[in-house]
Each structure stands twice: as structure tokens, then as C-alpha cells.
Amino acid sequence: MWEAELIDARGLLCPMPLLRLQQQVRARPAGSRLWLQATDPATPEDVRRWCRVNRHQFEQYELREGVHHVLIEVGNH
């Protein structure tokens, strides 16, 4: 598994998981990887759309025990 920083947004509702992710992405260089953990059911599709619009790579998604785990790679921003 790749090394990636973890962003814990469990228990937060939309749009907070995405806002936490966005805040961390701004502080990272292109090529960085971030794992977002969230319980909000909208998270996977929100992050997928956000990555497409902002030119980041949606790398991986898993749902485990009610927690959405989303891995992204930071693009050029």
C-alpha cells in the first residue's frame, strides 16, 4: 500500500469531509496521496466529482464497517 496521510472526517456531514480534504490538498505538492475516512454516505461520489473538476486522481475506494475510505493523488493545483 502507498504511503498516504490520513484525514479523519468520520461523524461529519456534507460538505465537511470534502472541505477537510480540500484544506489538506492545498497544503500538499502534486503527487501526494491522501486517505479520507468518512461516514457520510455522499462522500465517495462527492470526492469523485471534486477530483474530476480539480484535476486530482481518484485512486481507490473501499467501504469497510460503515466507513468510506477514499484515496486520492493530488494533481497540479
CATH label of the domain that carries residue 17? 3.30.110.40
What is the spatial distance between Cα 36 and Cα 20, in angstroms, rounded to a whole number? Answer: 9
Catalytic residue check, 51: no
Domain count for the chain? 1
Going by pLDDT thresholds of 50, 70 and 90, the confidence category of residue 2 is low
Alpha-carbon span 33 to 6, nearest angstrom: 9
Residue 3: which pLDDT band, with cuts at 50, 70 and 90? confident
Residue 5 CA to residue 36 CA, distance in Å, equals 9
Give the range of the structural domain holding residue 33, as residue numbers without chain letter.
5-73
The predicted structure's pLDDT at residue 70: 98
- Calculate the dihedral angle through the C-alpha atoms of 45, 64, 8, 71, rounding to the nearest 10 degrees: -50
Express each pLDDT in 13-71 by its tens digit: 999 999 999 999 999 999 999 999 999 999 999 999 999 999 999 999 999 999 999 99
Q: Which of 14, 19, 30, 63 is catalytic?
A: 14
